[in-house]
A and B are shown apart, each in its own frame.
Chain A
Amino acid sequence: GENVEQHPSTLSVQEGDSAVIKCTYSDSASNYFPWYKQELGKGPQLIIDIRSNVGEKKDQRIAVTLNKTAKHFSLHITETQPEDSAVYFCAASPLPMDTGRRALTFGSGTRLQVQP
């Protein structure tokens, strides 16, 4: 099955700096890669996703890059703000999902702290 590794586990940056979180995956059949932000006491919130036919996607201060050859993808947050502080999870899944395949496989999370 799929295995997703995420680094770093914790990340502290100054307000206004950039933050980068990296993930690697093992299953070459994976072709959908979402990123979620989870605040304390809340469920994961989808912030951006990318499919395997695209190498990069941007949404305002957030961008995701994908290298299918190397099987890794990264989240980039620019001009960080204190409200960006949360736990971020990467995930991977095959699309479409065959019967019996797992759905989203998550990384172990990165706790991002933005210092004002």
Chain B
Amino acid sequence: DAGVTQSPTHLIKTRGQHVTLRCSPISGHKSVSWYQQVLGQGPQFIFQYYEKEERGRGNFPDRFSARQFPNYSSELNVNALLLGDSALYLCASSRGLLNQPQHFGDGTRLSIL
């Protein structure tokens, strides 16, 4: 079975622009979570979605938003990009909220110029 897939793998944007990152979970997984990983640090939780509903939100500004589609894939949107948004954005999927573990994709490397 395919693992978690994310696209694009790399992205370069300038300050003030908007970006959309995409994630396809492992087949059979209904929950998707998004994390931000700044270089040299552990991933930080942004959002969790289950059955198309937001089930958890981390300490990120309203410029960050996400959604989950009927096929359980997900998008992360970031508006008004700042230099500090440069990071690896990771998507993780799990079967459900009550059923860990979370399996990660290889991420999207976002660079803001």
Contacts and interface: CB of A to CB of B under 8 A. Distances in A.
Interface of B: 4, 33, 35, 40-45, 48, 55-58, 90, 92, 97-98, 100-107
Given A41-B106, A45-B104, A101-B56, 10 more contacts: A34-B102, A43-B90, A44-B104, A95-B98, A96-B97, A99-B56, A100-B57, A103-B56, A104-B43, A106-B42
Contacts, number: 67
A36 interface: yes
Contacts of A44: 43, 90, 104
**Contact residue range for chain A?**
20 to 34
Contacts of A41: 106
B48 A46 contact: no
A37 B46 CA distance: 20
A20 interface: no
Interface in A44-101: 44-46, 49, 89, 91, 93, 95-97, 99-101
Nearest to A108: B42
B44 A106 contact: yes
Nearest to A39: B106
A18 interface: no
Contacts of B102: 34, 46, 103-104
B41 A109 contact: yes
Given A103-B45, A106-B43, A32 B100 contact: yes
7 contacts: A43-B90, A49-B101, A91-B42, A93-B100, A103-B56, A106-B43, A107-B42
